[in-house]
Structure 1
């Protein structure tokens, strides 16, 4: 009669370890891709918000003949604004938005280099200057990145 093999069906420890390593490598690659996409989305969101703010500032200037002193003036009517020029909706913006990294935008009126105003985000690192994700995002160059 034939001998029965004592070897059991299933995977060896080496085979299981190889599978676990492959799964780990795939997971790491996925995390890198997703993180990169999220970072780029924050930049795009910030650029779009800068454009939205610039549009609201432009409407404010057309209605009042001057630029707002601060971004909050787009939400609540400042003392220097005339009620008859204020939008019927009660505001130019529902609220002052944050940048893609949940920080306040910087607004200056007058702006730098002869510009009537500046709207900017200091990028991911929150500090002036930088490259890549840390680069400053300005209303003067929105959409160039």
Structure 2
């Protein structure tokens, strides 16, 4: 025996050797995540598929939001038409006639000038006497702005009837 082992004594050697014997067996195995050759990465096909799904979802969301914008503009134009129609009625009660133009409602202070356009920033169409025996015609050209396409026109006389359908 050498000098170093005598100084530590026989128990020190046993402890050291018993430590090695009772060490857990899994401590010698490397962790699975530590090995570079076993790591898994996304393939180009998987990344492309995920990007295609995200693009499709964004397309559906954009389509839905665009439709909501036009519906909101239709509702805003309907509200403006109601305000103008009420002002026309008040003017008629006070003057016993309908105004010849919508500008007359502004000069007589029944309306503000900013109320004279629909949500698409186009002037409302007003005419007295109106079409079909009505006292006046008041409408917005709708989404396309063309008064000759009645399918999307917003008419003060028919908008309440269309909401019930």
Partner of 1:88: none
Give the equivalent residue in structure 2 for 1:92: 110
Q: How far off its partner does 1:55 sit?
A: 0.4
Give the equivalent residue in structure 1 for 2:7: none
**Correspondence for 1:40 among 56, 65, 71:** 71
How do residues 1-145 of structure 1 correspond to structure 2 at under 5 angstroms?
A: 4-77=35-108, 91-95=109-113, 96-127=115-146, 128-131=148-151, 135-145=152-162
In structure 1, C-alpha distance between the alignment counterparts of 2:66 and 2:140, rounded to whole Å: 20
What's the CA shift string for 1:11-66, capped at 9, x where partnerless?
22222111111110110000111011111111111111111110010001111111
Pairs aligned (count): 129
Post-superposition offset of 1:121: 1.0
Q: Distance in 2 between matches of 1:57 and 1:41?
A: 24
Computing the radius of gyration over CA atoms, which structure comes out larger, 1 or 2?
2
In the alignment, the residues of structure 2 paired with residue 27 and residue 100 of structure 1 have an alpha-carbon distance, to the nearest angstrom, of 27
How high is the TM-score relative to the length of structure 2? 0.70
In 2, Cα distance between the equivalents of 1:63 and 1:5? 89
Cα drift, residue 7 of structure 1? 5.0
What TM-score, normalized by structure 1, do the two folds share? Answer: 0.79
Q: Which has the higher contact order (CA 8 A, sep 6+)?
A: 1
Stretches of structure 2 lacking an aligned partner (at least 5 in a row): 1-28
1:143 Cα deviation from its structure 2 partner: 2.1
Kindly indicate whether the alpha-carbon contact (under 8 Å) linking 2:102 and 2:116 is maintained by their aligned counterparts in 1. Answer: no
How has the CA–CA distance of structure 1 residues 115 and 130 changed in structure 2, closer, same or farther, with 3 Å as cutoff?
Answer: closer
Give secondary structure in 2 for the equivalent of 1:99: coil
The CA deviation at 1:74 is 1.0
